[in-house]
Chain A
């Protein structure tokens, strides 16, 4: 049960904790997991006019590995386009943090959280486009 230094660093000094305005049009929010299963991640991205993710925030209820996984991905997605961010794989997260086998599901959840946040952002963006398309 020895955790890697990187994992412990992300757990002890989590990056980008917090919340963005989930009502804002340029913010995508992903909420994945379930309290009954012992982990819930909320991951938010703010996308700039240039299409780059300019900010990311998270809040996580879960074990140390879940907290570290979500902290890590907020770092990774910043500065990326949403298409680039979408390519982040759970295996990359697991490898970077050297997650023990029983904790692999935490990295899966983090990947799901990015995907959910991106999907939410896209849904908002297409709604915004819809009225114009109708004209």
Chain B
């Protein structure tokens, strides 16, 4: 825990937004440093020792990423991040096999970059099935089985949801895909390094990984592409032919090394970290429940990564709550869309009422979260929620026993 002092200065708010991005682990930064300075070569330069040294760093990192997910290092491609990995996996596979199969199955709670890519493919003439999720946020396996046909080329289902942290039944999904002959892609940006992943046991054919969600740097990610049986892709970025032609562009050595080191640390510490975070999360939830009535956790609490809570604070609007908890950095939705005023589509997909969706916060705990921070956060949240409820007309009505649904609200 000595690392914590290096992470947060005293004048900074308490960071509880680990699903948006994670701070760089100081050990990762240390591993990257030489590659910014004296080991600065281009890993594509085969003619001098600068290039060889850089290549060595990149290949070691590739192995470290592979180890984290039970893959072979030859199956790992470096990309600029999970958004690119998701785009490449889905478009690349769809494009390559389009003459044989043209159907894709995904879910309505995927990350925006998966949904937007699927919509784009629909415009290109592909069929896409968007499966609903159950109230707990998990996909219904029978529905999935029914949706996958002999025309289905790809099933893309995220491993862990970015807003509610629920873990999809990956092994079961993988088994269905294998049985039906469809490829299984999973967006593991929020899962890698948080839960055990094994591409063999889970029959995963493609997996997207993000550097900055696992205490590595931003601007780097990876895509796992199975070699046996081989999955083929049409490349999105062409040029120098790096990454076996799947992804051209000079490899950013320090970023690759950072992702590798981050993966290595996760491999070694994941189990202990999960245990610690589970305790912290339980402490937070217990603390909030003791101080506040009418709060509701969105999404399955058991099948969930330890570092996530998504809570609706009834009758208190999320943005005003965020403005009040000045000393805490949390999110009122996923970061990519947080500038928009729409309530979360993920919560809506779970059947959370719109008015309830407006009252939710995503609280992300992580490697550098301390017990003291959790306690401070509980106090600050409880104080602000109580203050805002005192000025909420909806809270007043509910205390008076008026059913808010009985009122005819003007839609606007």
Contact = CB atoms under 8 A, between A and B. Distances in A.
The reply to whether A and B meet directly (CB within 8 Å) is: yes
Interface of A: 1, 3, 11-12, 14, 17, 19, 31-42, 58-64, 66-67, 102
B354 A35 contact: yes
A39 B316 CA distance: 10
B49 interface: no
Contacts of A19: 396
Interface in B219-238: none
Contact of A67 (B343, B355, B391, B411): B391
Contacts of B392: 59-61
B355 A14 contact: no
Nearest to A58: B391
Contacts of B404: 35
A62 B320 contact: yes
Contact of B320 (A42, A67, A102): A67
Interface string B312-323: 000111011001
Contacts of B354: 35-37
10 contacts: A1-B339, A17-B391, A32-B410, A34-B410, A60-B392, A61-B392, A61-B393, A63-B323, A64-B324, A66-B317
A40 B391 contact: no
A66 B316 CA distance: 12
B409 interface: yes
Contacts of B355: 35-36, 38
Nearest to A116: B410
B341 A38 contact: yes
B325 to A, nearest CB: 12
B343 A38 contact: yes
Contacts of A63: 317, 319-320, 323
Where chain B touches its partner, the secondary structure class is loop
A39 B317 contact: yes
Contact of A61 (B343, B353, B394): B394
Contact of A34 (B315, B317, B409): B409
B391 A62 contact: no
Contacts of A1: 339
In the A-B complex, list the 10 residue pairs whose CB atoms are closest, starting with the nearest. A35-B355, A34-B409, A42-B393, A36-B354, A63-B319, A64-B323, A59-B393, A38-B358, A61-B392, A17-B391
Interface string B381-399: 0000000001111111000
Contacts of B394: 35, 40, 61
Given A11-B323, A61-B393, A67-B391, A38 B412 contact: no
Contacts of B323: 3, 11, 63-64
B393 A37 contact: no
Most chain-B Cβ atoms within 10 A of its Cβ — which of A1, A32, A34?
A34
A11 B75 CA distance: 53
A44 B320 CA distance: 22
Nearest to A108: B412
A60 B339 CA distance: 21
A60 B393 CA distance: 6
Contact of A59 (B339, B396, B407, B412): B396
Contacts of A60: 391-393
A33 B320 contact: no
Interface in B357-391: 358, 390-391
